[in-house]
Amino acid sequence: MHGRFVWHELMTSDPAAAAAFYAQVVGWTVEDSGMPGLDYRIASAGKDMVAGIMDMPPHLAESGARPHWLGYIGVNDVDAAAARLTAEGGAVHRAPEDIPGVGRFAVVSDPQGAVYCLFHASTPGAPAQPMATGHVGWNELMCGDVEEAMTFYHRLYDWQKDTAMDMGPLGTYQIFAVGGVGLGGMMRKPPEMPGPHRWQYYFTIEGLDGAGERVTAGGGQLLGQPMEVPGGAWIIPCLDPQGASFSLVSMAR
């Protein structure tokens, strides 16, 4: 599982409302994790656990952080990966620590400031099939320098360049893969996009228009029009009711 995204987690101002929203939009079943002293909810697509939903940690809320999604990249050794990351110009924001019975993790950022987590599971599971309904179907990095980012992630996680597409003024859209499986893409962050360089995650659903209607009915926002992308998929960027950014992807409009 080294180099693959193995978990996604929402830090939000209202976990109960967020759980209801994503259950409606994506079709998840959301249940309490049972972790003592922590409101942590597990979202599942069928029998597969795919994401966590938790209250925003106080120190982040006090610093003005908005609700956001985090991706967890699997590594063989969290401590070694964190040390390598700092040597390559990244930063460790939360030192490696254990989650009893679950695994070991650290919160980090790449040299351009995009935050994510390192993770090694106590009992690794099998990766989801690409574009499986209810799973994260695409992981997209908005950054300042695509070549620099690609070099960094290749050195740490052996990500390989896949197809590259010319996006005109926005530069190149670089798809990356691990073991021949496409995991996501990288592109230059548009200057009008607010906030820092960041990762954006695409949730796979069946029928983009219907899911978009569920977004607005649930109090979220659509940030653009449905767009068809190479390969025949349709996408649309969104905000949930608490302000966390995410996208939807479907093979059918």
Whole-number Å distance between alpha carbons of 106 and 213: 36
Higher pLDDT, 154 or 36: 154
Quickly list H helices, the chain.
Answer: 15-26, 58-62, 78-87, 146-157, 208-217
Whole-number Å distance between alpha carbons of 79 and 23: 35
Whole-number Å distance between alpha carbons of 71 and 183: 12
Question: What residue ranges do the domains of the chain occupy?
Answer: 5-121, 136-250
Give kind and range of the element (H or E) at residue 164.
strand 160-166
Determine which of 119-133, 202-216, 232-246 has the lowest per-residue pLDDT on average: 119-133
Helix, strand, coil percent values for the chain (each to nearest 5): 20, 45, 35
Q: With cut-offs at 50, 70 and 90, classify the pLDDT of residue 190.
A: confident
Per-residue pLDDT averaged across 6-20, rounded?
Answer: 96
What's the CA angle centered on 220, arms 214 and 224, to 5 degrees?
90
Whole-number Å distance between alpha carbons of 251 and 171: 25
Whether the CB-CB separation of 40 and 166 falls below 8 Å is answered with no
Let me know if domain 136-250 sits in CATH 1.20.120.450.
no
DSSP letters, 98-157, are EETTTEEEEEEE-TT--EEEEEEESS--PPPPTT-TTSEEEEEEEES-HHHHHHHHHHHH
Q: With cut-offs at 50, 70 and 90, classify the pLDDT of residue 123.
A: confident
Per-residue pLDDT averaged across 58-62, rounded?
Answer: 85
**Which of 133, 162, 180 lies closest to 4 in space, CA to CA?**
180
DSSP assignment, residue 67? P
Q: How far apart are the first and last CA of the chain?
A: 32
Whole-number Å distance between alpha carbons of 107 and 1: 18
Q: Has residue 77 got a pLDDT over 70? A: yes
CATH class of the domain whose range is 5-121: alpha beta
DSSP 3-state of 244: coil
Is 5-121's fold the same as 136-250's? yes
Determine which of 65-74, 182-191, 193-202, 244-253 has the lowest per-residue pLDDT on average: 193-202
